[in-house]
Amino acid sequence: MDFNIGKIYEASLDKEVRKALGQYYTPDYIVKYIIKRTLGNIDIVDKPFIKIIDISCGVGYFLLAAYDLLREKFLDSIDVLKSTYGNTVYILEKDGERKEVLGKDYWIEDNIHYHILKNCIYGADKDRLAVEITKAMLLSKCETDYIDDLNIINCDSLVRWENRLVSGEDEEKLREFWSNKFDIVVGNPPYIGHKQLDMAYKKWLLEEYEDVFKDKSDISYCFFKRILEILSPKGVAGIITSRYFMESPTGIQLRQYLTDKANILEIVDFYGAEIFKAVGVATAIYIFSKEKLGENEIRVNKLIDDNYKFSDSDNLEDLVKTNLFEEFTIKQKDLDLERWILVSKEKQNIYNKIEGKAEYRLRDIAISFQGVITGCDKAFVLTKEDIAEYNIEWDLIKKWIKNSDIGKYTLNDSSLYLIYADSIEDEEDYANSISYIERYRNRLENRRECKKGIRKWYQLQWGRKSSLFQQAKIIFPFKSSENRFALDLDHSYFSADVYALIIKDEFQDRISLEYLLGLLNSSLYEFYFKLFGKKMGKGMYDYYPNSILNLKIITGGIMEEVTHKVEKILELKKEKNQDQIDERIMVLKKDIDEILYGYLDLTREEMDIIYRTINPSYRL
């Protein structure tokens, strides 16, 4: 397929324009896979007037691939079509003439290009120039046969044009176009975050698509509903889009809608691998139909190692059959509305054992809070040398922890400190600190909170309550490739991409921070979290408290034994010569794993599944 014009156009788009439109080049191997999975099994003799549409067609990659496959199918079946429909009357509009012809004269090679473009291929997009490129690329498939009226239109596909009152020739054409029902819908719907949406348009979406689109939803959620609306009763859709809705709290309405309205046939979950270059969006392919067929089983192909680098020359159909992917089926009715956990039956069994043995969720036991938002780190975060040079008042100085300072169990030594300016009541009492901060006064005064009068210019943007930091706590990063929970007994303050856990008063005498620390850093709980944790991109997970606090916490008779092991790890971590004690720490970590496995009665095979899940390169 020659996509050069489209690629040149997309490459010319400004990054911010592309982001606003949600337009990203779809790799060839994705296009080919979706077209094959939706169109490949169609009997063209039975359905010669099949309608396929991409409602966010861009420069037409999916439609060009559909054209190629349809042409191949028609040419392979042309003799059968001629004999089957030889006496059927067809309308042929070519060279400015409209005439009736019998099937025996219609079904010839010279008419296939005309037939596909006039009757089978449909597309729509908001980008007018992209639409014109799509038309040109489709027409170029046959240089000798020009067709002047293609079914490719410039419009917003989320508008229900078929239901609007007609007020002109253009709207009449749109109404006629969208009155069709389509046998196949394919594409790469735009994913535009709620922050990038125009406020008036977002308000319209909230009204028009209220059952799938909520305040912090992605626009791609609306496309799922629109696709189901335009599908024929037995139609099939295949799209690649964000996978976030499967786990995100904002996706619960869409999950409910798809559970009720769609028959999900297949999901190819790329689970964070980079499919769209320079786009930090984890994606999946969804194949689904409108027709509900009893107890449906979803075929899932889930990428195991997202370090694999895909290329346009890849054949995804072949790749999903290799050990790069894990293949399994899951009953659609077993998808939990709270979040869709796409795991094999074996992993689900381990998940069920953890959930079944635990009485409390972490949110029952602990509360979580976010770190400090300074609004300008340069104004408030400094080194020990800066403190001495500028003679900063020490009673404002707090130890400062960043995401990168957090290890398993303990914090790495940090050389940074925070001026906790929210403690300043009288500027004259802290003249040196004020002088240091004042270097950035213009920038600080332009913060939203300062403009509104909520904060004084020298205060932190959101300093939180100091009392939250002045206690023992577990801190963890918002974004990480693995579970990293560290005990902080030094009253550290930390940045906004770090969160903390403190045990609720009613559990202080029952559960220790050390026990929680051992549990959350264990291989079992890394496996447990990664079964449903939100994948943010290549190798990275979202450790936002919504997910962490949903973990069920084992509180059986193993707490004292695990706590004892953790206390030993913490003691060893204080030693200066870490090289000599790493092995002892590894033994203690393994001991904690073994205690947990024994408590859950896990088999050797289940232990192996855990290790392979958290470390794809692991083999027995």
Q: What are the residue boundaries of the structural domains of the chain, listed by start?
A: 189-342, 364-614
Q: What percent of the chain has pLDDT over 70?
A: 94
Interatomic CA distance for residues 127 and 143, integer angstroms:
25
Could you tell me where the beta strands, DSSP code E, fall in 332-446? 360-361, 366-370, 381-383, 397-401, 416-419
Q: What percent of the chain has pLDDT over 90?
A: 76
Q: Identify which has the larger pLDDT, 487 or 273.
A: 487
Residues 274, 308 contacting (CB under 8 angstroms):
no
Q: Identify which has the larger pLDDT, 576 or 516.
A: 516
- Provide the pLDDT for residue 248: 85
Closest to 239 in 3D by CA, of 225, 260, 257, 250: 225
- Check pLDDT > 90 for residue 146: no
Closest to 498 in 3D by CA, of 469, 477, 473: 477
Highest mean pLDDT among 73-87, 190-204, 248-262: 73-87
| pLDDT tens string 282-296 | 899 999 999 887 789
Write down the pTM of the prediction. Answer: 0.86
- Provide the pLDDT for residue 70: 98
| pLDDT tens string 172-190 | 999 999 999 999 999 999 8
Q: Does domain 189-342 have CATH number 3.40.50.150?
A: yes
H-only helix segments in 153-219: 169-178, 199-208
- Provide the pLDDT for residue 308: 85
Which whole-number Å values give the CA distances from 107 to 48, 95, 100, 150, 427, in the listed order? 10, 18, 13, 20, 88
Which DSSP string corresponds to 50-97? --EEETT-TT-HHHHHHHHHHHHHHHHTHHHHHHHSTT-EEEEEETTE
| pLDDT tens string 380-414 | 999 999 999 999 999 999 999 999 999 999 999 88
- Check pLDDT > 60 for residue 614: yes
- Provide the pLDDT for residue 30: 96
Q: Which helix (H) or strand (E) holds 582?
A: helix 578-600
Structure confidence at residue 578 as a pLDDT band (50, 70, 90): low
Structure confidence at residue 8 as a pLDDT band (50, 70, 90): low
- Provide the pLDDT for residue 407: 95
What one-character DSSP code corresponds to residue 342? Answer: -
Q: Is 95 left (phi over 0), alpha (psi -120 to 50) or beta?
A: left
Instruction: Extract the tokens encoding 545.
Output: 């408290």
Closest to 601 in 3D by CA, of 548, 558, 550: 558
- Provide the pLDDT for residue 620: 36
Structure confidence at residue 17 as a pLDDT band (50, 70, 90): very low
- Provide the pLDDT for residue 145: 74
Average pLDDT, the chain: 91
| pLDDT tens string 218-240 | 899 999 999 999 999 999 999 99
